[in-house]
Chains A and B, each alone.
Chain A
Amino acid sequence: QKEVEQDPGPLSVPEGAIVSLNCTYSNSAFQYFMWYRQYSRKGPELLMYTYSSGNKEDGRFTAQVDKSSKYISLFIRDSQPSDSATYLCAMRAGTASKLTFGTGTRLQVTL
């Protein structure tokens, strides 16, 4: 079993839809949770960073962490074609330097 599981998609939604992206994980030591957006042939861009359980909102993006269920989510409201990209969840334990990534979910927002 992988430490981090993420549905690879592709996920196709119409413009304006609410998108829900999810990851599950098995390592209870993970405390820091991130979402990255990666456009084709570009490096990943940090979207959201959260510590432990709870919600965090930034504009159209909301990140949720449920440590009891080992489940994290990223919601995108009013999705735009420019949101079409691969979304990677990542997490790390304590002061560990290494990030463990999910496989990424490819999102396509259509007009």
Chain B
Amino acid sequence: DTEVTQTPKHLVMGMTNKKSLKCEQHMGHRAMYWYKQKAKKPPELMFVYSYEKLSINESVPSRFSPECPNSSLLNLHLHALQPEDSALYLCASSQTTAFNYGYTFGSGTRLTVV
């Protein structure tokens, strides 16, 4: 299995809703990442998990809450989002943060906040 699987593919949520994005990989990678990508822009790093521990938080607002329950699974919990948070949310993984021969990205969750 050489894939990163993200669910759901599309999500529409209201500003008062709570939702979660899920990411799964079975490549034995010990580094997992959340990126946010707006239209026609490059991906922007949000969080890095290394060996299931949060190692980098790029000053992301607390309405985004990451969780890494085990080495294969990464979640992003969403609460009280704003319309400007609408974007493609990408999960990625790599062998480790140090031996990072490029990431494997998932297909993303397209989030619309209404």
A residues bordering B, Cβ < 8 Å? 8, 32, 34, 36, 41-46, 49, 88, 90, 92, 95, 97-99, 101-104
Contacts and interface: CB of A to CB of B under 8 A. Distances in A.
A32 to B, nearest CB: 8
A97 B102 CA distance: 10
A99 B103 contact: yes
B102 A49 contact: yes
A42 B102 contact: no
Contact of B90 (A44, A102, A103): A44
What bracket does the count of chain B residues touching chain A fall in?
A: 20 to 34
Contacts of A102: 42
B82 interface: no
A45 B41 CA distance: 16
Contacts, number: 60
How would you classify the secondary structure of chain B's contact residues: helix, strand, loop or mixed?
strand
B84 to A, nearest CB: 19
Contact of A44 (B48, B94, B97, B105): B105
Nearest to B104: A46
B101 A49 contact: yes
A43 B105 contact: yes
Given A32-B101, A43-B6, 13 more contacts: A36-B105, A41-B88, A43-B4, A43-B88, A43-B107, A46-B102, A46-B103, A49-B102, A88-B43, A95-B97, A97-B33, A97-B98, A98-B48
A92 B100 CA distance: 9
Given A46-B104, A97-B56, A98-B56, A41 B110 contact: yes
Contact of B105 (A8, A32, A45): A45
